[in-house]
Amino acid sequence: MLIKLLKDYGEFKAGDICDTENDADGQKLIDDKIAEKFVESTEKKEKKAADEEDDKTKLATEIAARVKAELDAEKKAAPKKIPAQPKDDKLEKTGGFKNLGDFAQAVKQGQTNQHLMSYCKSTGMNIAINADGGFLIPPEFSTALLTAMNQTSVLAPKCTNFAVNNNLALPFVNITTQATSWTGGATVYKPAEGVAKTASIPQLAKCELHLHKMTVVVYATDELLSDSPMALETFLSTIASTEFALTKDEDIVNGSGAGEALGFMNSPCLVSVAKETDQPADTIYTANVLSMYSRIYNSSRANAVWLIAADAMPQIATLSIIVGTGGAPVFIADLSNDLKQTLLGRPIIWSPHSQTVGDKGDIALVDLSQYVSVTKAGRGMDVATSIHLKFLEDETAFRFVVRFDGQPWWASAITPKHGSSTVSPFITLDERT
């Protein structure tokens, strides 16, 4: 149906001559006073031209030529197609769903929802992406979840990460002592004139990392999907992204290495500094902090950060070094900016992954650039949902999957060339009981 717009509508302007997809859409726009039917036609133009025709051949020829030109122009400029609703670029990015809650409601309706069925693609005997008959979450929403996950990770971004398609075998020099070589990979000799040169034999080791699976499954009731879609969107985003982020950081610190990342607290390269003689339980002394700082590998000092349990803060904040009748603080803080809190000049992270005060691991000095991690290349997080898994309970299952692994890049602590106390990028304090 040809219509003439009386008002601006979406990308079209008042006065535009448009063609609707069907008569029903056109009639609705007319009923809503947005447009009027366009009645002028080619036949009317031809009739008008014929009535004005006279005996003057020249004038008739000019009129006929003008009418033909107008008709040709109309054929070249076909009327614009106008949709029933104005175009929305954001909806195109989200598969046509307004938000994650709107998508979840469509999932609840399942195969009765035509919009959902037109969005999904068949991968087997049914329209699904897995054996449970789930549906693919639009990429706009899964990207938002991944962004939230990255924003809440504190330790993982400080590690040396490799994006891999499968697993990673990373060779490195296995140095245990600097007695004959600073690096463990080459030895410098100083032969006299005419004496044959001595070859070095580096001792190599291999760091093997495997992409372990981490999953989050959230069940949402039909009542929640129906009554509070916006709350559901916030709920799912917060739950999934925060769990993955904090689990990654927890594994970097305390992971067992069995089916998950190996945390530096359980690695063979960890150096654990003994407590002071007769030191009371659940205390942290300035001497403890100084002893830990003396054991950090020299090249790691510039990157090292303190990971400290929050319940240790009252003791950390009062640490000082006595000098005669005065003293100097060990802990420095800008009360207007907690990001500038330091201990012996190195930044402090008050970490929920540290043990409670007095236990081994309540305070650690670490260089996380010496921790290697792997993530799945090109796929930060897989997101899917199923209406069948908890069908009898009237619940929809949302599944989130991330693959991750990591471990320290050192096979052991090393003994320095001058001295007997081992050094490492990962230092902690022994238990005080």
Contacts of 170 (CB under 8 A, 6+ apart): 162, 206, 207, 208, 209, 372, 409
| 368 close to 426: Cβ distance less than 8 angstroms | no
41-79 confidence digits (pLDDT tens): 545 555 555 565 555 566 656 666 776 776 666 656 555
| 372 close to 170: Cβ distance less than 8 angstroms | yes
Which of 29, 57, 82 is the last residue before a domain boundary?
A: 82
Residue at 308 is within a domain: yes
Residues 238 and 105 in one domain: yes
Which of 82, 99, 123 is the last residue before a domain boundary?
A: 82
Residues 243 and 99 in one domain: yes
**Whole-model pTM?**
0.63
Q: How far apart are CA 362 and CA 124, in angstroms?
A: 52
The total domain count for the chain is 3
Residue at 283 is within a domain: yes
Residues 323 and 241 in one domain: no
Residues 397 and 416 in one domain: no
Q: How far from the centroid of its chain's Cα atoms is residue 15's Cα?
A: 47
Residues 274 and 328 in one domain: yes
Side-chain-facing half-sphere of 381: CA atoms under 13 Å: 30
pLDDT of residue 231: 56
Q: Please state whether 61 falls in left (phi above 0), alpha (psi between -120 and 50) or beta.
A: alpha
pLDDT of residue 117: 58
Q: How far apart are CA 381 and CA 149, in angstroms?
A: 9
pLDDT of residue 176: 77
Residue at 195 is within a domain: no
120-132 confidence digits (pLDDT tens): 543 433 333 444 4
pLDDT of residue 189: 77
Q: How far apart are CA 270 and CA 292, in angstroms?
A: 12
Residue at 197 is within a domain: no
pLDDT of residue 16: 84
End-to-end CA gap in the chain? 87
pLDDT of residue 131: 43
Residues 306 and 415 in one domain: yes
Residues 13 and 73 in one domain: yes
Nearest to 172 by CA among 203, 194, 193: 203
Residue at 194 is within a domain: no
Residue at 192 is within a domain: no
pLDDT of residue 43: 52
Residue at 361 is within a domain: yes
pLDDT of residue 322: 76
Residue at 179 is within a domain: no
Q: How far apart are CA 68 and CA 369, in angstroms?
A: 77
Residues 212 and 239 in one domain: yes
Contacts of 321 (CB under 8 A, 6+ apart): 286, 327, 328, 330
> Could you tell me the mean pLDDT of each successive run of 10 residues in the chain, 433 residues long?
83 83 83 80 53 58 69 60 54 60 64 58 39 51 57 86 83 74 74 79 76 86 66 68 90 95 96 96 96 95 96 92 72 68 92 96 97 85 74 78 91 88 96 93
Q: Please state whether 431 falls in left (phi above 0), alpha (psi between -120 and 50) or beta.
A: beta
Domain holding 248, by residue range, is 89-169+208-258+380-406
Residues 143 and 95 in one domain: yes
Residues 28 and 163 in one domain: no
Sign of the CA dihedral with 79 first, then 80, 81, and 83 last: negative
Residues 141 and 215 in one domain: yes
Which of 82, 112, 134 is the last residue before a domain boundary?
A: 82
Residues 6 and 18 in one domain: yes
